[in-house]
Structure 1
């Protein structure tokens, strides 16, 4: 069976070299006589996997020494609660910049624990742009400012971290982490589910500045407390061992590709190829302001929505599954994360051209 070009938003495509290594290791990791899935997380073998993965992630992102790197479970959705429980005191407040569906979910969850202020949000929730920085209403007394660098559903992306002054900046990097360099020092907390650019579903990465650790509310469950997790080296309970191992292989693959500078060049080139074609062909349209378009999730529509179904079915038959847009917005969405090769994007463009020839 040949591999398809998987345009799914997540769980997403993984590098073939990593999958081949997993296959080779599956029954017997480095002569240990067992799979990583069978190892005790307290065993020296798995401890070495965990340590290498953290070291490689720190190298990729140039994580400063005064930040802890945590490997958790619960996804970004779990962090919607972890963040206020650890950073917002009882009776406190935080600012949220809402630019899409995941930002809406984050602020809704935070409101359970304190005052979640809407610092910026497009009028009528038309999530096709990022509100101008001059329009934001930030509270200098807020515990933190939360934003979503890339909105997976709408395809809206920050291409630079916003300047929010001295208040800690918190970012949900789930669909953009490791796609390009990030200035970690501009952030108080970075968190991300692994299942887009870093590995399989089940692992959540959290990078948190030391001074923001140890302030959790007394009622915070220990497993949600950054301090407790950090002191246990992310092994307060049994971690998602297999997802951690596979993500570690992806980190090594990224380093072998030339690191995040190289990935940024490749990802920008892939996205530009697809946007250039969409903009040149009236049959298709992208609703996002050009300056705020995502490199990772390219959304597009057709003037006749009745053609969506045959387009998606035809693409799947042609070996390009995962193009159906999220149910909340419709249309199509091509997720072109790190492991999507340029030939995959070109194959999609060729298919789109043929679809126009047949239906235009």
Structure 2
């Protein structure tokens, strides 16, 4: 048996794979594959409607917010957010906590004035900055809730008197959030929601259309809202599999239940990292991510040997990003506690062989 710790595209539940595979051959007894069905058909319109409804239910999205399924990943949102929310001559505030946050900052700077309120680049992003001030005259404050590469996570919603924007690509649907605290949330699907290809956007309607900018239609949220995420051909298969995965999450008991499972998985793995003398974590303890666990060997010479052992034990996708090195165990919603236990067992076996 293989356990997939890849950072994304990532693990999804087996029952989702099974149902999706059947739909590739014959979707809803239409005699057509989900890969070829028209996005204008009543069958796919029902998929889009259910996927939106499930997101609204699972995240308790209040009225006054629109839900979109777009393309281009978070990288496109790095530009779409300032294009739609940053007025001509205005400024935006950003928190720099890692690679994706800094990329968002870089793109926003091409569009308008950006204030970086704080950064953890001084320690290679091992912590989340605290006690910073957000300028009240900024159009919005942007932060990345979970840092996939460096293994840190923002657990307390930042306090801000201006609209709050968050890239939640790698922890969306993993824990409860209060959507009403935010002006806009975006997330690539390929961590906890579905396969790569779709990007979830949840936006407060009253914030739109106020920048004074003339936008290319494809980069304007409002036409996408008016067209029900079908202004252009949507990522049909990714939305469909996301719907299946959201059904799975709802059947498990929703975000509240999966959050408790994620807490147990993360605690189990971090306890072993802290106990085992051959390994150490890279992020400060209070900011350790529940989704992406980053750690290294105390002796760098052990790194390749542990990866070899992990591969022998069916533990896939553990090699850390080059920015951090070592290992990264992505323990998203669909990874079971048995997968975490298998990794802990391998770490203990490695300790026995090398102590």
Q: Settle same-fold status: TM greater than 0.5.
A: yes
Q: Single out whichever of 208-217 and 257-266 deviates more from structure 2.
A: 208-217
Cα separation, 2, equivalents of 1:313 and 1:101: 28
- Offset of 1:126 from its aligned partner? 3.0
5+ long unaligned stretches in structure 2: none
Q: Does 1:227 align with 2:227?
A: no
1:7 equivalent in structure 2: 5
Q: Deviations over 1:109-133 (max 9, x none)?
A: 110001111111126253111112x
- Offset of 1:22 from its aligned partner? 0.9
Q: Deviations over 1:190-244 (max 9, x none)?
A: 0000000000001000000011122355442211101111011111100100000
Cα separation, 1, equivalents of 2:140 and 2:28: 44
1:279 equivalent in structure 2: 274
1:292 equivalent in structure 2: 287
Structure 1 residue aligned with 2:180, among 179, 185, 188?
Answer: 185
- Offset of 1:317 from its aligned partner? 2.4
Q: Does 1:128 align with 2:126?
A: yes
1:253 equivalent in structure 2: 248
Report SS of the residue matched to 2:4.
coil
Report SS of the residue matched to 2:315.
coil
Cα separation, 2, equivalents of 1:123 and 1:204: 27
Conservation of the 8 A alpha-carbon contact between 1:200 and 1:243: yes
Cα separation, 2, equivalents of 1:329 and 1:184: 32
2:96 equivalent in structure 1: 98
Q: Deviations over 1:269-288 (max 9, x none)?
A: 00000001111112110121
Conservation of the 8 A alpha-carbon contact between 2:174 and 2:192: yes
Cα separation, 2, equivalents of 1:174 and 1:306: 33
Structure 2 residue aligned with 1:158, among 154, 157, 165?
Answer: 154
Q: Deviations over 1:311-332 (max 9, x none)?
A: 1222122211100000111110
TM-score, normalised on structure 2? 0.98
Report SS of the residue matched to 1:190.
strand
Structure 2 residue aligned with 1:115, among 109, 113, 116?
Answer: 113
Cα separation, 2, equivalents of 1:62 and 1:138: 27
5+ long unaligned stretches in structure 1: none
2:341 equivalent in structure 1: 346
1:171 equivalent in structure 2: 166
Structure 2 residue aligned with 1:59, among 57, 60, 69?
Answer: 57
- Offset of 1:4 from its aligned partner? 1.2
TM-score, normalised on structure 1? 0.96
CA RMSD of aligned residues (A): 1.1
Structure 2 residue aligned with 1:207, among 184, 202, 205?
Answer: 202
Cα separation, 2, equivalents of 1:253 and 1:60: 11
